[in-house]
Amino acid sequence: MIGNVVVLLGAPGAGKGTQAQILSERLGLAHVATGDLFRAAVRDGTPLGLTAKGYMDRGELVPDSVTIDMLFERLARPDAAKGILLDGFPRNTAQAEVLDKALAERGGKVDVAPYIEVPEADLVARLGGRWICRAQGHPYHEQTKKPLVPGVCDVDGSELYQRTDDQPATVQARLRQQLGALDQVVGHYRGHEVLATVDGSQPIDRVTDGLLAAIAAATGRQG
């Protein structure tokens, strides 16, 4: 018996991780981030964990079938009885199709795929805008943690600079690639009529309310 399956979608910087944590607590769903899933399986030395580790040690991608098996192992645990909230999987159409098929074989389905939509320009501003100090690497952010004096570290007075990785052009190029895959997945769930778009440029608690409403409409599960 599979409980509710919620696939939370959002670009890097859209606040998906934060919302996933809030939603899973409010709804009693197990929060399943595939990165954590891999790490836990490898740490616990489960057969699937060892298989996954073999691929990762060889620098290869873990096959979708292994990820899916791990997901269902996770689904069988008691805290997932009411269902799961997936965070970071599926990442592309192929994975979305594998997931649909695997769920269908077990009498389940994706109930709803809430999508936290944030304009690309906002994502670039959130993801970039990071500056660090030369002396000790103290972090600052143009939007969320400005230094008292522009360009100067509050703690030690050293100069602030941007690593190449944090410069707008680099951030934008990396984001474009990630958004391409996300668009595919969004399109997949739109086609299956389970997509629920929520405006992610609102304050965090308003986004949470929007997501809870979307999940309630699809599952009857109230936060």
- Between 124 and 133, CB nearer to Zn ion: 133
Q: Would residue 176 show up in a list of annotated catalytic residues for this protein?
A: no
Residue from 91, 109, 138, 141 binding Zn ion (CB under 5 A): 138
Q: Would residue 206 show up in a list of annotated catalytic residues for this protein?
A: no
Contact pattern from residue 86 through residue 125 relative to Zn ion, giving x for each residue in contact according to CB under 5 A and a dash for the rest = ----------------------------------------
Enumerate residues 139-158 that contact Zn ion by CB under 5 A: 153, 155-156
- Between 36 and 156, CB nearer to Zn ion: 156
Q: Write the DSSP assignment of the chain as a string of letters.
A: ---EEEEEEE-TTS-HHHHHHHHHHHHT-EEEEHHHHHHHHHHHT-HHHHHHHHHHHTTPPPPHHHHHHHHHHHHTSGGGTTEEEEES---SHHHHHHHHHHHHHTT----BEEEEE--HHHHHHHHS-EEEETTT--EEETTTB--SSTTB-TTT-PBEE--GGGSHHHHHHHHHHHHHHHHHHHHHHHHTT-EEEEETTS-HHHHHHHHHHHHHHHH----
Residue from 133, 171, 195, 214 binding Zn ion (CB under 5 A): 133
Residues that bind Zn ion (CB under 5 A): 133, 135-136, 138, 153, 155-156
As annotated, the active-site residues are: 16, 91, 130, 163, 174
